[in-house]
């Protein structure tokens, strides 16, 4: 189906053309007509599905032209990075309109944000805390908001933002259109939906719990003493172009980043102890290819749109099964294929079992060929799940009966 059939205005179609989108993604096909028809929607699509344009295009269409009444579209995001990214996407989509937007988050000065309000804006993309500050200081009013988007609602809940979100929603007119995106719908979000939305339609793409279908994912059982060595060996042997390494803790992420730098990998690190400027520099550098490895904690796992990540390495198995899905969603975005490799220690067995239950899928255990493994119980656990014979993705069956990952060249 071509974009032109959706009934969007020509400046928006021009932007879509410029972005190189040839046809709408499934979530766009489903969501755009509902939003154009003025319905409230609940979306459970994963990030990487074209979600931002799915709500952005029809809302920008409804906004039409710049109006001096103040913000008419408010988008709430759980993290600064997501706010910045969504703001950039909307700027691209609205390029050929005269609509004006501002991104509002903490950790930076207030004045530039206030200046933007004074000059007149149609769109605010914000994290809840800073937006509330502005509202308390009466620097901004939400009384003309006609469209509200609550993005990654479950993440905002996890981060303790729900009371702030409710306060903000309370400042918006009751007569408005609301869209809510959430990978999961826990009872608190159900409550929010009942309170904040009017007769919503649900659009769901694929199975809510299934990880991005284009991603191939495998487990590498290993002894704790060899974890670092195995990660380095994987980086040497697996054919990758850009990779995100996920760690469970900030200190762990710093440690891994230091190790990678010692081994001459161009690595950057992103977690919540780093300043906004440092986080942005790391992300920009990674996007532009100045860093080949981005080491991150789960704060970076959700929603960040980083194109062409070929591999995700879970240096630590994530604590929560949902985070596994979010982490591996960084690769295989918008139909490109990518790989997700998870290092697994003996003690990780219950976490892995929880993930496999969550995604309704057994994850294949593999062994890196040529790596000098020390014994660990987890290696026996892996053996039970190893597939018997054959070839996988060009990999060969290793001596132990595991599949060896396809060895390949590293870029450069």
Positions in the binding site for ligand AMP (CB under 6 A): 21, 24-25, 28, 47-53, 305, 307, 333-334
Reduce the DSSP state of residue 17 to 3 states and report it: helix
The minimum distance between CB 32 and ligand AMP, in angstroms, equals 10
Closer of 69 and 307 to ligand AMP (Cβ)? 307
The minimum distance between CB 380 and ligand AMP, in angstroms, equals 40
Torsion sign over Cα 302, 304, 307, 309: negative
Closer of 3 and 246 to ligand AMP (Cβ)? 3
The minimum distance between CB 267 and ligand AMP, in angstroms, equals 23
Of 201, 189, 197, residue with least CA distance to 155: 189
Hey, what long-range contacts does 268-271 have (CB within 8 A, 24 or more apart)?
268/293, 268/294, 268/295, 269/294, 269/295, 269/296, 270/294, 270/295, 270/296, 270/297, 270/299, 270/300, 271/296, 271/297, 271/299, 271/300
Cα 180 to the center of its chain, rounded Å = 16
Closer of 54 and 124 to ligand AMP (Cβ)? 54
Q: If you compute the radius of gyration of the chain from its CA atoms, what whole number of angstroms results?
A: 22
Helix (H) or strand (E) holding 312: strand 311-314
The minimum distance between CB 381 and ligand AMP, in angstroms, equals 35
Reduce the DSSP state of residue 180 to 3 states and report it: strand
Closer of 51 and 72 to ligand AMP (Cβ)? 51
Closer of 46 and 178 to ligand AMP (Cβ)? 46
Closer of 56 and 71 to ligand AMP (Cβ)? 56
The minimum distance between CB 55 and ligand AMP, in angstroms, equals 9
Measured distance CA(287)–CA(307) in Å, rounded: 7
Measured distance CA(195)–CA(166) in Å, rounded: 9
The minimum distance between CB 194 and ligand AMP, in angstroms, equals 26
Closer of 335 and 374 to ligand AMP (Cβ)? 335
The minimum distance between CB 10 and ligand AMP, in angstroms, equals 17
CB 115 within 8 A of CB 106: no
């Amino acid at each position: 189906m071509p974009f032109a059939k959706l009934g969007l205005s020509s400046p928006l179609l021009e932007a879509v053309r410029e972005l190189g989108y040839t046809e709408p993604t499934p979530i766009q096909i489903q969501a755009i007509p509902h939003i154009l028809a003025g319905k409230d929607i609940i979306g459970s699509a994963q990030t990487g599905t074209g979600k931002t344009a799915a709500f952005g295009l029809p809302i920008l269409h409804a906004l039409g032209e710049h109006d001096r009444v103040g913000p008419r579209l408010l988008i709430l995001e759980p993290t600064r990075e997501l706010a910045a990214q969504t703001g950039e996407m909307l700027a691209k989509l609205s390029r050929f309109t005269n609509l004006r937007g501002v991104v509002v988050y903490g950790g930076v000065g207030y004045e530039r944000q206030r200046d933007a309000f004074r000059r007149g804006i149609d769109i605010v993309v914000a994290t809840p805390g800073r937006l509330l500050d502005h509202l308390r200081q009466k620097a901004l009013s939400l009384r003309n908001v006609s469209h509200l988007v609550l993005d990654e609602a479950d993440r905002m809940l996890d981060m303790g933002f729900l009371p702030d979100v409710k306060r903000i929603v309370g400042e918006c007119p009751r007569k408005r259109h609301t869209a809510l995106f959430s990978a999961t719908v826990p009872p608190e979000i159900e409550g929010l939906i009942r309170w904040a939305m009017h007769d919503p339609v649900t659009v769901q793409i694929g199975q809510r719990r299934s990880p991005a279908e284009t991603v191939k994912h495998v487990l590498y059982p290993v002894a704790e003493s060899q974890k670092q060595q195995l990660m380095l060996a994987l980086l040497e042997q697996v054919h990758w172009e850009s990779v995100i390494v996920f760690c469970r803790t900030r200190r762990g992420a710093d440690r891994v980043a230091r190790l990678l730098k010692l081994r001459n990998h161009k690595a950057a690190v992103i977690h919540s102890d780093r300043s906004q400027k440092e986080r942005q520099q790391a992300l920009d550098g990674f996007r532009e290819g100045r860093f080949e490895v981005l080491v991150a904690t789960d704060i970076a796992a959700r929603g960040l749109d980083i194109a062409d990540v070929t591999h995700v390495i879970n240096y630590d198995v994530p604590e929560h099964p949902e985070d596994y899905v979010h982490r591996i969603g960084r690769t295989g975005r918008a139909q490109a294929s990518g790989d997700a490799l998870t290092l697994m220690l003996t003690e990780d067995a219950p976490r892995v079992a929880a993930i496999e239950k969550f995604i309704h899928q057994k994850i294949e255990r593999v062994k890196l060929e040529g790596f000098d493994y020390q014994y660990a119980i987890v290696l026996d656990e892996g053996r039970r799940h190893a597939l018997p014979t054959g070839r996988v993705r060009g990999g060969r069956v290793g001596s132990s009966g595991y599949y060896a990952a396809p060895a390949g060249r590293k870029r450069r």
